[in-house]
A and B are shown apart, each in its own frame.
Chain A
Amino acid sequence: MTTIGEQIDSTPAVTSLRRKDLLGIADMSPEEIALILDTAEAMKEVGSRPIKKVPALRGKTVVNLFFEPSTRTRTSFEIAEKRLSADTLSVAIGTSSVVKGETLADTALNLEAMSPDMIVLRHSSSGACHLLSRICRSAIVNAGDGTNEHPTQALLDALTIRERKGRLRGLKVAIVGDLLHSRVLRSNIHLLTKMGADVWVCGPPTLVPAEMSRFGVRVTSFVDEAVADADVVMLLRIQLERMEGAYFPSLREYFQVFGMTEARLRLAKPDVMIMHPGPMNRGVEIASEVADGPYSVILDQVANGVAVRMAVLYLLAGGAEHEEAA
């Protein structure tokens, strides 16, 4: 019983997020990221209790405003909010005034007139969260904006990697798939490079944004080169709904050239982790035997999502007060 309490008993470099909103990973410091991950580890324990609820956000109101379809992220935020005892409501856009032509800013200001404490926003336009952050008093949490960022996804990915590997620094992480449309990629690149990982990105040349290497990552279109000796292979969904042009000849050809198969995976380290932010296209970016195989941590990612979102909501709830007190 000597191990109890010693693992994370050291005092972290920073003890609060001195910010009102979580808009993206781009403007966060490595110390803030580490604080969120440490807090998420503590939150994970709450989910293993018989009574999975703590009173930390009692009396706080959180609005989940999702302008894009989402199962995983919205459910995950809702569970996180409920576990912290916040009052939550989710606005389904199909039944909202948005279908009557209301703008995002008007929707937000009207919600804000009812004094919620936080708004969790998913929107198809990059920068939608930044817009709300400027006009709302409520804390804004980015649950994915266009092709810009999806910060809580990158944080849960980092938590999952850190749990398995004990660190992020020095790991080779290969990210393969649709680099052009992926907000998950952008948040992950910011986070992983800030935390000292060696990040490789790989996709068809038509799906690689210009000047990608400026992010401090290695870019290749040869999947075997990206996967070679990788500690982590992260697959990105081919986002058929965002593809207006023909980026590659066929899904079958994509799978042949870039799909993650058991054979391809043998190039990676023997203890490689396979990650996917979901929803998966089986037989396109990932073979079923890999998705369900022993290296896959895809369902651990989902489980960690709740803990990471609890950490973010808790830390922002405390951080906003500090800003006022300061």
Chain B
Amino acid sequence: MPVVMDADRIGRSLARIAHEILERNKGVDDLALIGVRRRGVPLAKRLARQIKQITGDEVPTGALDITLYRDDLMKQAVGLQPVVRRTEIPFSIDGRKILLVDDVLYTGRTTRAALDALIDFGRPKAIQLIVLVDRGHRELPIKADYVGKNLPTALDESVQVRLQEIDDRDEVVLEQGGA
């Protein structure tokens, strides 16, 4: 069960991504960070803190639950029915540049669902995708704009991201066998 990212590595990746966000968007104007539940939410908040340390600006954050937009809701051979949680976007996304944050990019289906969910809240000026780990094996034409770590994986491996806020420690682990 190799640890592919430890706490330091996760911290450095997020710091780099924060700088990349500022560079690419030339500042924080119209930016907002929206995390995909569950682990995208603490990541979005951490990025907001990083940006605040660099520029002193507050970037608003929100939480997006994509359960009701999944395409596998009625097709789960294994696994539990996902729990529906609250979406909390306490600002208008119209005309904003939305930074969508998730922990792992895999098939792209979660991102597809998140894009659909987001569009129901308004018309953002742009949506950029931030992921901590890109493990490959895309099934949809989706690409991340900011990546913490590109991690080549086999289909029978699973990537577990653990974050202090939810799991009491920071690490990314590559596990053998199905999730």
Which residues on A are within 8 Å of B, measured CB to CB?
1-2, 4-5, 7-9, 11-12, 15-16, 35, 38-39, 41-43, 45-46, 49-51, 53-56, 60, 84, 311, 314-315, 317-319, 321-322, 325
Contacts and interface: CB of A to CB of B under 8 A. Distances in A.
A319 to B, nearest CB: 7
Contacts of A38: 83
A310 to B, nearest CB: 9
Contacts of A318: 73-74, 76, 81
Interface residues of B, number: 38
Contacts of A43: 84
B82 interface: yes
A171 B81 CA distance: 32
A145 to B, nearest CB: 27
Contacts of A60: 74
Nearest to B116: A55
Contact of A8 (B35, B70, B78, B85): B85
Contacts of B162: none
Contacts, number: 93
B interface: dominant SS? loop
Interface of B: 35, 37-38, 41-42, 45, 48, 60-63, 65, 67-70, 73-78, 80-88, 90, 116-117, 120-122, 166
Contacts of B45: 1-2, 4
Contact of B76 (A4, A45, A314, A321): A321
Contact of B73 (A9, A41, A56): A56
Contacts of B60: 1
B41 A51 contact: no
Contact of A51 (B63, B67, B76, B120): B120
B121 A9 contact: no
A99 to B, nearest CB: 36
Contact of A4 (B61, B83, B121): B61
A54 B37 contact: no
A263 B45 CA distance: 51
Contacts of A41: 86
Contacts of A55: 68-69, 116
Contact of B122 (A50, A84, A322): A50
A8 B69 contact: no
